Structure formats: C-alpha cells, structure tokens
Structure 1
Amino acid sequence: MATGAGKAAPPAPDDRVSLERDELGGVTVFVDGQPQSYVRLDDPLLLAFEYVQHLALAIDACCAEPPARLAVTHVGGAGLTLPRWVQATRPGSPQIVFEPNEALTAFVRERLPLPRGHRIRVRPQDGLTGLRALGTDSADVLVTDAYAAGRVPAELGCAAYLREVARVVRPTGLAFCNLADEPGFRWGARMVASIREVLPEVAVVATHEVLKGRRFGNVVVVASARPLPLDELRRRVAGASPPTGLRAGDVLMRMLAGAKPFGERGEPSPVPPAAGGWRVV
C-alpha cells in the first residue's frame, strides 16, 4: 500500500473501518461491517459492485459522451470509486465530494491515493450542509450514495435535502441516488415518490433479481427536470451483466402506486440483512 515518503500510514480511524485486499490487487473498503467501495488503483474502470456499474452506465447514457468534462457533486465518499471512474473517463472533470468522516477520507487517500492531475475535492461535511454552500445550477451530475451503519440516513430523503439537490443540479443535469431496500420496495417507492416532487422525470435501474423482489439489494434512481433518454438507457441496461432492468413511465408508476413522499421528515432505509440473508428463499 502506497504511503508518503518518510511518513507512517495512518491507522484506520476506528474499528468500524477496514480494508480487504484481494488476489487481483483490488481493495474493498468496509464501513460498519458493510462493503462500501471497491478500488483497483491500476484499473479505475473496473467497477466491481453492481450498483456502481449501474451508476456509471446511467451517467454515460444520460450525459455527453466521454471525454466531455462534467461538473460532478458526490454526497458520500468512502473509497472514492465513482470519482476515480469519472476522472478516468472524463479527465479534468471538476468534482466535489461531501464525506463528513474526515479520518476515513485521510485513511483512504493515504492507502489508496488519487490519480495525478485529478480535480477531486473532498469536503468534510454532510450532504445537506455541503449542498447548501454550493451555487444554484452548479452541477451537471449529482450523485447521492451515502450510508451510515449500512442504511441510507433519513436526512437524505427529507424534502429539505431533495430541494437542495434540485437547486444545485442544472436544468439539463441529472441526479442519481443509490438506494438499498428489501423485497417489496416499500421504502424505496417512498424515496422515488419524494424525488419526483422536485425532479419529475424519473427511472430506476437494478438487477432483475432485485426488481422482482427476490433479494435485498440496490436500486439506482435516475432523475432530472428534463425528459430522460430512455431508449439509450434501455440499450445500455440490456447489455449489463448480471441481467439488469429499467423501470420508467407507466411501469414505474405501478411500482410506486400508493407510495407517499416522506415530506419534511425522512426515514432511514431498512436494516441490511446479515451475510447470507440477502436472498429470498
């Protein structure tokens, strides 16, 4: 693991954070016992987690083709996997990351250094505080991917946070949100309903197993004030592995039937199951 010359590598900030290296040289960042990020310094295009693959394909489908630069804001940092991918595919893109755990950021950046020439700036702030300090219409892309104890915090689903998301994203921009929900998608449906109140054009991407309610898992929400390029999204989703689906339009509305927005008070996502309990049997 790379460290600065003459400096001892910082210890993990606490026993909730650890790194696990695999035989290919990749590193998984664990926080609160949950895998948060996977990083291979020699291959930032390798996205091991399904939901990160879905975020990347959705960004490529909805935004200008690489190597066009994008102004990207990330809420949630951990191993900085997606910012590294943006830098690799769209070099020089200005990126802001809000990660309140300053010790975690220092630990990750020491053990997993960012590439040379990057324009990634990590600020030790929570999402709502950080977004409030940003200018209106300042982001082409805004990604919310933040967890505490394996759950999406309640404040990231409240109306105040989502209004800030809509304010910061440009009229032609995109907001993406990584959700984790159990079969039935009850909490996720309320999150999507909440997002639609400020960014009405919405689609969701997930593996077929998750969409069919066969296991607890991640769902990526794509939202904008403008119509989404659904044909291009469908094309890219069709080529994803493992088998992945897109829900939009009337099909998505049926998924959301009866779901009420959270309003001014959010609700944390469901507690993730123990290892081995993610699949419905």
Structure 2
Amino acid sequence: MATHGNRGTPEGLELLPDPARPGGWTLLVDGVPQSYVDVADPEHLAFGYVELIARSVRARRSVPGRILHLGGGAMTVPRLAARWWPGVAQTVVEINGELMDLVLREIPPAFPVELVAGDARQVVGTTPDRSYDVIVVDVFDGAAMPAHLGTVEFARELRRVLRPDGLAVINVTDVPPMAFTRIQVATVAAVFGETGTALLGENDVLRGRRAGNLIMLAGAIPSLRVRRGERLLREGELVVFSSGARPRTDAKA
C-alpha cells in the first residue's frame, strides 16, 4: 500500500491529500473514506453527516465548556469546535492508537486537546458525573456501531456524564428498513425520555428509501432549523418511527 506523504503508515490506514484543496485530507481505513478535514478551513465539511453533527452541536444555546468526542478519526469535529469556541476543553477517545499516531504526525491539531487511547464505553464508565456539556458519539466497527455502545446501559452512562443541560450527538448508519435505527431510538428514549430524544436526517433515509447516516440527539434538544430535504423527528413523530422496536440491553447486545 502506498500513501502520498505518509511514512511508515500502518497497514489499512491512509491519509491522502486533497489535490483540489491545499489543506484538505481524507482518512481511509481499509480503503473506505472515514474522515475528511481541511486543516486550513475546518468549516469546510465534505461529509453530509458531519455537517449534521456540527449543526446540532452549534445549535445549543450556551457555549460548551467541555466536549467529549468518542471516536477520533481525523478530528474533524474537534477542529471545528476549536474554531467556533477557542479555549473549549476537548477530550478525544480513540481505540485505534495507530490511527491517532498517524493523524498527530501528519496533521496535528493546532489547539490543546486531551487524547485518550481506549474503548469508548470503558472511558465513559470511569468518567465522573456531569463532566461534559456535549458528547459526540461517532464510533464504528467496520460499517456498524459497536454493539456495546447501543444499549440502555450505555445510554445511562451518557446521561450520567452529561451536565443537566448537556447534549449527546450520536451518529448512526443504517440500511432500509432502518430496523437498527428504530431500535436505537427506542433504546435512547428509554433513558432520556420522549422529550429528550430526537432524530435528524435526510427524508429519504428516514423513510427507508436508501441507506445513510442519521443523527440521534439525546438530552437538552436544541432548536434546530432543518434544511430542504431534511426532517427532525421528535416526540409523537419519533414514537411512530420507532413503533414496535424494543430497547436493547447488554444482555441482548
């Protein structure tokens, strides 16, 4: 495997420069694009789901003091948060140490950030109560969320670590008929309640017409302006969406 500009790149990892943007880089894992970042312009977002995450985080009424990112990638969202809120304290948890080493070597962040190598659930489990204003969950094992991050027990841990007005932003990828997402909605709503749970995404994905990413919101749901072709499902609409789905527990994961 050859990578442009990367020396000693671990097998399966590539960090490729964007020929169209001097500061643009794409992180690939086993040949699949996982992250895109423009180090010169963090507000340039190439992936639609990242734009949804970013909009959700920025829609909070108050400036966050501390943000926890579960899943590091190329640190696209942490770079964006540092641009919006200079001085915000950020922690990035990434289980793949080789991935983090590659990103830090080739495109290191120009802002202070705490990096933690480890499993997202284990790290959250040892985090004190009410530690973070925002938690971004963007963790995948291949193309799927790890099973132990999609349970009622983990949702309880997220709620415990969030501050009272905090927000968890969870990236979910699914295929028609969106059975996994329906279960995840039921799981999160079992902990955060119907008023503390929402689902944001493109209409075609929400309706099960095609595969894609959806963003679950949990906690203090901000007021979000949806764009053309998008929907934000809350309360009654969300109950209808997840109708028949049962929350997943550790015993069933």
TM-score, with length taken from structure 1: 0.82
**Is contact 1:10-1:110 (8 Å) kept?**
no
Matched ranges for 1:10-49 at <5 A: 10-14=7-11, 16-22=12-18, 23-25=20-22, 26-49=24-47
Residue of 157, 160, 170 corresponding to 2:163: 170
The superposition leaves residues 188-224 of structure 1 with CA deviations (integer Å, 9 ceiling, x where unpaired) of 1101111112222111111122112221100000111
**Is contact 1:178-1:220 (8 Å) kept?**
yes
- TM-aligned CA deviation for residue 10 of structure 1: 4.7
- Equivalence for 2:213: 218
- Equivalent position SS for 2:213: strand
Q: How far apart, in 2, do the equivalents of 1:9 and 1:265 lie?
A: 42
Q: How far apart, in 2, do the equivalents of 1:28 and 1:82 lie?
A: 14
- Equivalence for 2:131: 138
Q: How far apart, in 1, do the equivalents of 2:233 and 2:70 lie?
A: 24
Q: How far apart, in 2, do the equivalents of 1:53 and 1:111 lie?
A: 24
The root-mean-square deviation of aligned C-alpha atoms, in Å, is 1.7
The superposition leaves residues 40-91 of structure 1 with CA deviations (integer Å, 9 ceiling, x where unpaired) of 1110111111111101111122242xxx343100110011100110001011
- Equivalent position SS for 1:173: strand
The superposition leaves residues 72-116 of structure 1 with CA deviations (integer Å, 9 ceiling, x where unpaired) of 00110011100110001011110111101111101011111201x
Matched ranges for 1:116-195 at <5 A: 118-195=111-188
**Is contact 1:69-1:91 (8 Å) kept?**
no
- Equivalence for 1:249: 235
Q: How far apart, in 2, do the equivalents of 1:162 and 1:266 lie?
A: 15
Q: How far apart, in 1, do the equivalents of 2:7 and 2:152 lie?
A: 38
- Equivalent position SS for 2:192: coil
Structure with larger RCO (C-alpha < 8 A, sep 6+): 1
Opposite residue 197 of structure 2, the aligned amino acid is V
- Equivalence for 2:191: 198
Q: Any gaps of 5 or more consecutive residues in structure 1?
A: 1-7, 268-281
- Equivalence for 1:54: 52
Residue of 61, 86, 110 corresponding to 1:91: 86
- TM-aligned CA deviation for residue 120 of structure 1: 1.3
TM-score, with length taken from structure 2: 0.91
Q: How far apart, in 2, do the equivalents of 1:48 and 1:162 lie?
A: 29
- TM-aligned CA deviation for residue 33 of structure 1: 3.1
- Equivalence for 1:279: none
Q: Any gaps of 5 or more consecutive residues in structure 2?
A: none
Change (3 A) 1:9 1:17: closer
Q: Which segments of structure 1 move beyond 6 Å, counting only runs of 4 or more?
A: none
Change (3 A) 1:158 1:33: farther
